[in-house]
């Protein structure tokens, strides 16, 4: 009855729902996934992949974005979309996120000093106390300079306690940590919010890059974003760049940085070290000329 009630509420107001066995199956799957997540936190079932980020003008590798993977005992390597939402609902994202920050700082401390690491931070981590101290601890344990750590937050971060969020962001930025706004353009962030917080970087969402090669409207949107970012003193990075025409359009419209399958898929920590061994010529080749 509770499951039926839950579903009826989920579907909106003034509705009803009968119990169905599928509801029970979904609840069981969820419960099992939660048990597996808790187990992975204790026994270390997670891994980070790193996707290279490039500066367009300098044709240079500038750093990597850390992307979480879960090596599930039955499902194999599992992507965040299958478990982040549950981790957020259950609060497990807090210990998982702390592990991600520690691990990302540790890996980056081995890379050359010019390279940065970007870490995705969930709104739930901002709502919980202790984010700043977890970051400070990770920095001091790894010896990573704060300016080499970039936090990627989404517009959702601003839907909760805005004052507390801004205070945390300002505190982190004052110690030198960089703050990027991820998936820019997909949420409800008002432009006035952009004025309130000096983001270091706007990450332009993949949906604006998809049809860029042959769309005049798409190019106009990119131009509008890069003009705005320039005026506010923020860098821009386009996500999900998959072909050379998109790259050319982005370069033309003033986008400073890129990331996507055209350059590289997310790599394991070992693959990152091989890429770094290959050196700068390989970065330049990525741009196709
Ligand atoms: P995101 O931060 O926007 O990360 C970019 C996503 O786009 C990654 O998916 C990446 O693999 C994918 N991608 C990169 N280049 C291309 C491309 O050229 N084409 C296409 N189609 N996709 C591309 P992934 O790794 O599955 O991560 C999905 C989302 O999960 C991330 O989106 C981020 O919001 C979240 N996430 C990942 N790791 C973490 C984490 O450690 N903590 C939290 N809270 N969220 C995370
Ligand atoms: Mg991201
Ligand atoms: Mg994104």
CA distance 116 to 178: 10
The rounded percent of the chain whose pLDDT value lies above 70 is 97
Which residues, by Cβ under 5 Å, contact ligand 3, an ion?
Answer: 182-183, 239
State in Å: Cα 21 to ligand 2 middle: 37
- To test the pocket of ligand 1, the residue of 91, 239, 264, 271 to mutate (highest count of ligand atoms within 8 Å of its CB) is 239
**Does ligand 1 come within 6 angstroms of the Cβ of 67?**
yes
CB neighbours of 272 closer than 8 A, spacing ≥ 6?
50, 64, 107, 111
170 CA distance to ligand 2 centroid (A)? 20
Question: Bridge partners of 54?
Answer: 61, 258
Taking the centre of ligand 2 as the mean of its atom positions, its distance from the CA of residue 120, in whole angstroms, is 5
Q: From ligand 3's centre to the CA of 250, what distance in Å?
A: 16
Please give the C-alpha separations between residue 211 and each of 109, 203, 236, 246, 248, in angstroms, as whole numbers: 37, 17, 18, 8, 13
Pick from 25-29, 92-96, 211-215: least confident: 211-215
Partners of 76 in beta bridges: 72
Instruction: Check if the beta carbon of residue 41 is closer than 8 Å to that of residue 99.
Output: yes
Helix (H, G, I), strand (E, B) or coil at 201: strand
Q: Closest ligand 1 atom, CA of 80?
A: 30
**pLDDT tens digit sequence for 40-60:** 999 999 999 999 999 999 999
pLDDT reading at 14 higher than 90: no
pLDDT-derived band of residue 225, with 50, 70 and 90 as boundaries? Answer: very high
Kindly report the number of other CB atoms within 10 A of residue 1's CB atom. 7
Q: Write out the two tokens for 28.
A: 């069981």
Q: What is the DSSP code string of 141-157?
A: HHT--GGGEEEEE-GGG
Measured between alpha carbons, how far is 66 from 258 in angstroms, rounded to an integer?
15
């Amino acid at each position: 009855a509770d499951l039926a009630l839950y579903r009826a509420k989920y579907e909106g107001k003034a509705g009803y729902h009968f119990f169905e066995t599928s509801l029970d199956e979904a609840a069981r799957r969820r419960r099992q996934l939660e048990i597996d997540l808790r187990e992975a936190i204790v026994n270390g079932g997670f891994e980070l992949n790193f996707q290279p980020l490039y500066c367009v003008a300098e044709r240079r590798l500038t750093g990597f974005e850390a992307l979480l993977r879960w090596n599930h005992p039955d499902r194999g390597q599992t992507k965040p979309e299958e478990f982040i939402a549950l981790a957020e609902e259950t609060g497990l994202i807090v210990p998982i996120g702390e592990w991600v920050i520690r691990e990302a700082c540790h890996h980056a401390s081995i890379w050359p000093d010019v390279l940065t690491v970007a870490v995705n931070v969930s709104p739930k981590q901002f709502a919980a106390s202790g984010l700043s101290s977890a970051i400070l601890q990770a920095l001091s344990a790894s010896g990573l300079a704060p300016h080499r750590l970039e936090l990627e937050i989404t517009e959702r971060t601003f839907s909760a306690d805005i004052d507390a969020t801004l205070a945390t962001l300002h505190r982190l930025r004052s110690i030198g940590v960089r703050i990027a706004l991820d998936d820019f353009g997909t949420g409800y962030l008002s432009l006035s919010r952009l004025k309130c917080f000096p983001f270091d970087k706007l990450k332009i969402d993949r949906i604006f890059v998809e049809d860029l090669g042959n769309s005049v409207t798409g190019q106009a949107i990119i131009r509008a974003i890069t003009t705005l970012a320039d005026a506010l003193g923020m860098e821009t990075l386009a996500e999900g760049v998959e072909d050379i025409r998109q790259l050319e359009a982005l370069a033309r419209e003033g986008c400073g940085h890129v990331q996507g399958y055209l350059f590289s898929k997310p790599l394991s920590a070992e693959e990152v070290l091989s890429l770094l061994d290959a050196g700068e010529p390989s970065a330049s080749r990525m741009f196709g000329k």
